[in-house]
Amino acid sequence: MGAKGCLSSGEMRMPRFPREVSLSPWEVKEEGELGGEEEEEEEEEEGLEEAEGERPKKRGPKKRKMTKARLERSKLRRQKANARERNRMHDLNAALDNLRKVVPCYSKTQKLSKIETLRLAKNYIWALSEILRSGKRPDLVSYVQTLCKGLSQPTTNLTPRGS
């Protein structure tokens, strides 16, 4: 062995294997000893037949057969949940449309995406807070650059709201 317990390039250790080699979970045989091959083949064939004939047991509680009443209740619950989700999405989209109306830039050719609208609103709030903090009117170009910072859409089609 080389320094600090490391093997030198010429030294190579082979892993040691245990004297006993387990051929199956139920029997342990000595190394080099082969058991009855016929028994193993029969066991394999039986295992295949069992695997084909039976499905593995499912974990968890057993599911009861859906009666007509249960099926109807389940369907009704699903419809109510879908309606709630639909209303939630309509409300979210309406709020985003209102936000698009008040941000200072908008696209004449296409509507800003949800994420673009939120990013633009965040930039607008930040730009306004910077104007309040500094107390002076910003340069128009830097103001527009600040508003469009982080937007993925090209900014050539974005114009100030007053135009």
Q: How far is CA 47 from CA 21, 57, 112, in A?
A: 22, 16, 61
User: pLDDT band at residue 92, thresholds of 50, 70 and 90?
Assistant: very high
* Contact indicator for 123, 150 with CB cutoff of 8 Å: yes
- Give dist(CA 110, CA 128) in Å, integer: 25
Total-model pTM? 0.50
Q: Flag whether 4 is in a domain.
A: no
Q: Flag whether 55 is in a domain.
A: no
* Contact indicator for 144, 155 with CB cutoff of 8 Å: yes
Reply yes or no on whether the pLDDT at 155 is more than 70.
Answer: no
Q: Flag whether 92 is in a domain.
A: yes
Q: Flag whether 88 is in a domain.
A: yes
Q: Flag whether 23 is in a domain.
A: no
- The three-state secondary structure class of 96 is helix
Reported as a single tens digit per residue, the pLDDT across 93-144 is 999 999 998 887 766 777 888 998 999 899 889 888 888 898 888 887 877 8
Domain that holds residue 133: 68-157
Q: Flag whether 153 is in a domain.
A: yes
**Number of domain units in the chain:** 1
Q: Flag whether 50 is in a domain.
A: no
Residues whose CB falls within 8 Å of the CB of residue 112, separated by 6 or more in sequence, listed in order? 100, 106, 120, 153
Reply yes or no on whether the pLDDT at 150 is more than 90.
Answer: no
Q: Flag whether 97 is in a domain.
A: yes
